């Protein structure tokens, strides 16, 4: 049976910006952006004849000394590779082993073995434990097998850490139209959230293709947060602020979380599993959630300070 992750394991993944590895100008701007994580994309956004150049761009980017404060800003760095069967994936994975980002993002995951194959390869290469695996869930089989994939990710030796939903490929393969509200996609999105919740992983909501439509982004971020996603995959810096706002704790929720933590810290609550908080009965399981929320707010404050130092 899974347990909620302790506060110390909480990662900020409100805004996960995808940047084409072929775009040098975009790579240069990353340090100044207030996103929590960056996906360096070697897959969909890079033409076949540009794959080698994109890999060299990343070699240069990771080799350059970071701007002052960049490492302290704590951006998670993920490299999305091509599938191992594509003819490009093997070279991409060798690059990942050389650069040692925080994670490697695997596209079009259909079944547990897709994850375990890469996990075994990383182990054989003696990659550090800190190099995690993220999985793109973007095919009908991936949705159907989401729970099995997540369960396999909890086995010994697996590095699986996070799911990222890819609705573009899923729409293409199912024929579901891109409609406002994502009505016919909601059951599949919730299936992913249920799977990661059962096995202690994170889930990132899919991109919104029209990066100029802030009203639609606002609605999707609100919807994704309500569903239980921890953040949203983005394709343009202009989307970062909205994602950070929606997937971060609001003032009311944070105030309640602090009140719950304080209530259980009171001597009168020692040994109790339930306390009276302003006429409402609060269980100790709510304390775990509250502690995670408070810790998340502290991480956001720390990142905000570090980010200001980076751009100053």
Q: Which residues sit in the known binding site?
A: 80, 138, 169
The whole-angstrom separation of Cα 246 and Cα 224 is 9
Token look-up 């890999």 returns: 55
Both tokens of 101, joined, read 């980002």
**Cα(7)–Cα(92) distance, rounded to whole angstroms?**
33
Q: Are the C-beta atoms of residues 93 and 82 closer than 8 Å to each other?
A: no
Cite the annotated binding site for substrate by residue number: 80, 138
Annotated binding site for Mg(2+): 138, 169
Name residue, tokens 């569903």: 227
Write a three-state SS string for the chain: CCCCCCHHHCCCCCEEEEEECCCHHHHHHHHHCCCCEEEEECCCCCCHHHHHHHHHHHHHHHHCCCCCCHHHHCCEEEEECCCCCCCCHHHHHHHHHHHCCCEEEECCCCCHHHHHHHHHHHHHCCCCCCCEEEEEECCHHHHHCHHHHHHHCCCCCCCEEEEEECHHHHHHHHCCCCCHHHCCCHHHHHHHHHHHHHHCCEEEECCCCCCCCHHHHHHHHHHHHHHCCCEEEECCHHHHHHHHHHHCCCHHHHHHHHHHHHHHHCHHHCCCCEEEECCEEEEHHHHHHHHHHHHHHHHHHHHHHHHHHHHC
């Amino acid at each position: 049976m899974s347990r909620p992750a302790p506060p110390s394991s909480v990662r900020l993944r409100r805004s996960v910006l995808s940047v084409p590895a072929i775009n040098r100008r975009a790579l240069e701007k990353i340090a100044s952006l207030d996103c929590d994580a960056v996906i360096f994309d070697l897959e969909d956004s890079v033409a076949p004849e540009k794959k080698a150049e994109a890999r060299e761009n990343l070699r240069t980017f990771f080799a350059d000394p970071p701007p002052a404060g960049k490492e302290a800003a704590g951006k998670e760095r993920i490299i999305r590779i091509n599938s191992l069967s594509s003819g490009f994936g093997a070279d991409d994975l060798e690059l990942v082993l050389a650069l040692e980002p925080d994670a490697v993002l695997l596209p079009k995951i259909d079944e547990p073995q897709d994850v375990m194959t890469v996990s075994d390869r990383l182990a054989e290469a003696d990659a550090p434990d800190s190099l995690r695996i993220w999985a793109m869930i973007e095919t009908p089989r991936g949705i159907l097998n989401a729970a099995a994939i997540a369960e396999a990710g909890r086995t010994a030796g697996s590095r699986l850490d996070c799911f990222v939903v890819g609705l573009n490929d899923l729409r293409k393969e199912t024929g579901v139209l891109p409609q406002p509200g994502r009505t016919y996609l909601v059951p599949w999105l919730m299936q992913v959230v249920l799977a990661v919740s059962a096995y202690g992983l994170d889930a990132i909501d899919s991109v919104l293709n029209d990066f100029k439509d802030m009203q639609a982004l606002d609605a999707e971020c609100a919807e994704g947060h309500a569903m239980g996603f921890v953040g949203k995959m983005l394709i343009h810096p202009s989307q970062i602020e909205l994602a950070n706002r929606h997937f971060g704790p609001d003032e009311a929720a944070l105030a309640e979380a602090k009140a719950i933590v304080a209530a259980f810290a009171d001597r009168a609550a020692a040994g109790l599993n339930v306390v009276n908080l302003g006429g409402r009965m609060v269980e100790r399981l709510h304390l775990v959630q509250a502690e995670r929320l408070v810790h998340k707010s502290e991480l956001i404050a720390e990142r905000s300070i570090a980010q200001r130092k980076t751009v100053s």
